């Protein structure tokens, strides 16, 4: 990312740190209770916030990954996909990818080389399987 506003970038990184802490805690709760609608909605809002901020700052890989996560969580929220252990594992991979991308942005102001296409495919497969 070129010509980044450093104040805006620092705000983004601080917000992401808070978001990822909440994401982790909510994901743990959903792992214990797959029907925790409050935590599912919370994760949706967290991912939506990352997606929007990434888009504004031009982090297209983070935005695309967030969109795939947001789409899956939206379908879970709407009752079209039921959470099961494989989805929890995939959402954990999403969390880990967010951590990695944010670390790269903090260190280099770039998202890194991994576009996480494999993870986007994994997130999307639950939409096509419609596992309810």
What are the tokens at 51?
A: 């997606």
Residue range 15-26: mean pLDDT, rounded:
98
End-to-end CA distance of the chain: 40
Residue 4 has pLDDT above 90, yes or no: no
| CATH code given to domain 6-129 | 1.20.120.160
What are the tokens at 94?
A: 């999403």
Look up the pTM and report it: 0.93
89 HSE (CA, 13 A, CB side)? 5
Phi, psi of 94 (to 5 degrees): -65, -45
pLDDT at 3: 57
pLDDT at 128: 82
């Amino acid at each position: 990312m070129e010509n980044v506003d450093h104040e805006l970038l620092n705000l983004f990184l601080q917000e992401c740190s808070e978001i990822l802490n909440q994401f982790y805690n909510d994901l743990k709760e959903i792992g214990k209770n797959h029907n925790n609608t409050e935590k599912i909605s919370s994760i949706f809002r967290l991912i939506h916030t990352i997606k929007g901020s990434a888009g504004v700052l031009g982090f297209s890989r983070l935005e695309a990954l967030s969109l795939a996560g947001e789409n899956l969580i939206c379908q879970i929220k709407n009752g079209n996909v039921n959470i099961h252990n494989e989805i929890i594992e995939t959402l954990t991979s999403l969390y880990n990818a967010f951590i990695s991308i944010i670390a790269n942005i903090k260190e280099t102001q770039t998202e890194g080389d991994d576009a996480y296409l494999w993870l986007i495919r994994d997130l999307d497969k639950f939409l096509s399987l419609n596992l309810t």
